[in-house]
Chain A
Amino acid sequence: KAGVTQTPRYLIKTRGQQVTLSCSPISGHRSVSWYQQTPGQGLQFLFEYFSETQRNKGNFPGRFSGRQFSNSRSEMNVSTLELGDSALYLCASSPGQGAGTGELFFGEGSRLTVL
């Protein structure tokens, strides 16, 4: 069974640009969660989607958005990039009723560098 796939793995952007990250969950998983990982803040929850609906959102500004498609693939978008957005963005999928079970299957992440 294929794992969680995130693309792109690495990307470099400049301040003010926008970026879209993609996540393909494990087949059959309907829940996708996104996390931002930085050395200073650790893992910060961004949002969770289940069957195309956002069920929970973390404490991030509106520049961070996401969506989920009918095939459970998910994208997140960050607009008007700031230097502080440089981070590893991790996507995780969950079986059953979703992330509330605590069992997350993570991708390898997309490392974003903002210059």
Chain B
Amino acid sequence: GDSVTQMEGPVTLSEEAFLTINCTYTATGYPSLFWYVQYPGEGLQLLLKATKADDKGSNKGFEATYRKETTSFHLEKGSVQVSDSAVYFCALSVTGGYQKVTFGTGTKLQVIP
């Protein structure tokens, strides 16, 4: 079946540090890949997406590149802010397949001033 594996948290960084959150996947079809973010007390929000190999999704300074050869979709940001503190979820879906999105377990990021 489909699955997503992402690095364990929590991740604690100082403001302006470089962020990488690793994500790898297995899929029965040809998936689209996503990063969602959940701020405290809120539901999840779509952060960025990529629908085919070598696509780069980007939003709010975050980037992730769809690497088919390594089945990875790592999230990066060059300079994190305190406001980026949240839980980040890597996810995949197979369009036209099972009509569901499969999520990783989430990685909590804490950014300290």
Residues of A within 8 A of B (CB): 4, 31, 33, 35, 42-43, 45, 48, 50, 55-56, 58, 90, 92, 98-109
Interface residues of B in 50-84 (CB under 8 A from A): none
Minimal Cβ-Cβ distance residue in B for A106: B43
With A and B bound together, what is the CA distance between A92 and B98 in angstroms? 16
Question: What is the total of A-B residue contacts with beta carbons within 8 Å?
Answer: 69
**Other A-B pairs beyond A42-B104, A106-B43, 18, CB < 8 Å:** A33-B101, A35-B103, A42-B89, A42-B103, A42-B106, A50-B99, A90-B44, A92-B43, A99-B93, A99-B100, A100-B93, A100-B95, A100-B100, A102-B95, A104-B44, A104-B46, A104-B101, A106-B44
The 7 closest A-B pairs by CB, nearest first: A106-B43, A102-B93, A42-B105, A43-B103, A106-B44, A100-B99, A56-B99
Residues of B within 8 A of A (CB): 32, 34, 36, 41-46, 49, 89, 91-106
Q: Please pick, from B41, B42, B46, B99, the residue contacting A103 in the complex, using a CB distance under 8 A.
A: B46
CB distance from A20 to the nearest CB of B (A): 19
Q: Is the CB of B92 within 8 A of A102?
A: yes
Q: Is the CB of B101 within 8 A of A108?
A: no
Max chain B Cβ within 10 angstroms of own Cβ: one of A42, A102, A103, A108: A102
Q: Is the CB of B99 within 8 A of A43?
A: no
